[in-house]
A and B are shown apart, each in its own frame.
Chain A
Amino acid sequence: MPAVLRKAAFFAILLLFWQGACSLQFCPDYLLPAPWQVVASLAQGWREGTLLYGLLISLKRMGIGFGLAVLLGGALGLLVGRSGPLAQAGRSLLMGLQSFPSICWFPFAIILLGLQEGAIIFVAVMGAVFSAAIATRDGIGNLPRNLTGAALTLGARGWRLYTAVKLPAALPGIITGLKQSWSFTWRSLMGGELLFGNLGLGHLLMQARDLGDMPRVLGVMLTILLVGMIIEQGLFARLERAVQRRWGLESN
């Protein structure tokens, strides 16, 4: 059976279980709505335009937040990738900050930037910037010694050594790291939107909760899940494979 069919079958079985649980009526349908109720609620959200609007707002924030995280993280990674005691101290601070829950930056961001768009994006950036920095620094730190040696003996110097050799050489590893950074950004953004609902999918989710509208809650949750899966598997995994193929790193 082809992989696509296998996956479809798996999801169909999940749906069946869900429907089955509803039909047996363990609990009332305002607590556990049937799949079709969730779909209907999604369809309604789509018709009203709220769903699409929320989605676009969240994606825009993601784009900005992730873009900033990659730029800042990349620069930070290059900085702490240098040798010397300062860079070493920087690395241990990075490790610490990576495990620091990004949503805890929210109060800080609100005081700093006010209770608005900037604060939400700030939290999204903080979710990913450190893992992007670590991915960059690991990618560049683990290059084969001969590769940089060859570049140096061919006359590569200074920033050109980075742009022309180290970054491209480390790209496969960096992309794998960025895939993870992306999911960190997504989580942080949703956290931010939930806490301070100002449009976006997280806000829709909170609205649905305020209305006690379980089908809508599940519908938005499903949307968030799908967006995550599509971007991670559809975009990043594809990009990762393409780069690995070009770099000759494929296992086959």
Chain B
Amino acid sequence: MERVLSAEASSAAYPAPLRTGEAPGQAAEGRRPWRSVVGRQGKAEAPEKLALRGIVKSFPHRRGRLVALEEINLSVREGEFICLVGPSGCGKSTLLRLIAGLEKPDAGEISINGQAVDGPGAERAMVFQENALFPWLTVLGNVEFGLAMQGMGKRVRRARAMEYLAMVHLAPFAHHYVHELSGGMRQLAAIARALAVNPAVLLMDEPFASLDAQIREMLNAELLRLWAETGKTVLFVTHSVQEAVRLADRVVVMTYRPGRIRAIIELDLPRPREEGDPGVVRTRLAIGRHLREEVTRALQEERNHAGRT
């Protein structure tokens, strides 16, 4: 039961040197502050919420096809907070769009609560980096939108939307238009809008990437509070290792072209997590190492590619 730094999925094709250090139970004990995770209260026993099995996705590219994702297997438990990290272009957004049902996989199956996903739906609401709020509606109108699509009556949905706005402390801005809000408030509004439809899984694609570090830190804390309050299962894409370590129960590191799961790191660290905490620092370094290797590989690949064409 000591699966700690393991690539749950298809790791067969990694360059050997990257693998050896990670084989379960091989590295020194002291380097693994996150190891005793399996005992994390409740989480390990929680039922499976989201399952990805053998997901493959490719896109047309030049005269051939670009394999964006290959053999992605992942099982997410109810109430879990998963962070996805990986080099730019490794397929993180694609994976989220697949789960959301906005794209169809070439092969493999995605299921929520054991039910196969087919097409988009409100049980998998998504929060994007930007440009996803409706500018012609007020903040309240935006949060009401999903409820209106469910056919909820005006009075009920207004009350419900106000509850969620209050939850993200945006009630005073209910009647403002989107462009009158700061970047951080916009993202909070987008989160309230997604939570209002009570999704089974909340998908977040770099929701705070365009905000400055202070705001981002505040919103991370805010998100953790919302997560604790609502008990949602969250898939969160980020480029920031720091952010991932602040938020996640498990961090999934992806490889570059084809996108696979390189490693899954479980974090058994109490929240809120202090930047300087030794466990936090060690985890950050470990994830950083994985990521750096992948980014280097990605850069090399890109360079080789540019050299050839």
Stretch of B73-81, B132-140, B285-293 that contacts chain A: B132-140
Given contacts A154-B145, A154-B146, contact A149 B134 (CB under 8 A): no
Q: Is B132 within 8 A of A150, CB to CB?
A: yes
Interchain CB contact under 8 A, A247 and B135:
yes
Q: Chain B 82-101, CB within 8 Å of chain A: the 1/0 string?
A: 00000000000000010011
A57 at the interface (CB under 8 A from B): no
B residues 89-137 touching A (CB-CB < 8 Å): 97, 100-102, 120-122, 124-126, 128-136
Query: 7 closest Cβ contacts across the A-B interface?
Result: A248-B179, A154-B146, A155-B122, A152-B120, A155-B149, A150-B132, A146-B128
- Number of residues in A with C-beta < 8 Å to the partner? 22
As a 0/1 sequence over residues 174 to 201 of chain B, the CB contacts with chain A under 8 angstroms (1 = contact) are: 0001111000000000100110010000
* A149 contacts B136, C-beta separation under 8 Å: no
Contact B134 A155 (CB under 8 A): no
Counting CB contacts under 8 A, is B150 at the interface? Answer: yes
Pick the contact of B136: A144, A153, A156, A247 (CB < 8 A): A247
**Taking A160-B149, A248-B178 as contacts, is the C-beta distance between A153 and B131 under 8 angstroms?**
no
A154 to B, closest residue via Cβ: B146
Instruction: Name B residues whose Cβ lies closer than 8 Å to a Cβ of A.
Output: 97, 100-102, 120-122, 124-126, 128-136, 145-146, 148-150, 177-180, 190, 193-194, 197, 203
B149-A153 in contact (CB<8A): no
B contact residues around A146 at 8 Å (CB) = 128-132
| Complex: chain B residue closest to A149, CB-CB | B102
Contact of A153 among B122, B133, B178 (CB under 8 A): B122
A144-B131 contact, Cβ under 8 Å, with A149-B97, A150-B126, A153-B102: yes
Alpha-carbon distance between A153 and B128 when the two chains are bound, in angstroms: 11
Tell me whether A248 and B130 are in contact in the complex, defined as CB-CB below 8 angstroms, given that A153-B125, A160-B149 are known contacts: no
B121 touches A165 (CB 8 A): no
Report which of B120, B135, B148, B193 forms a contact with A248, defined as CB distance below 8 A. Answer: B135
Contact of A147 with B by CB under 8 A: yes
A49 at the binding interface (Cβ < 8 Å): no
List B contacts of A156 (CB < 8 A): 145, 149
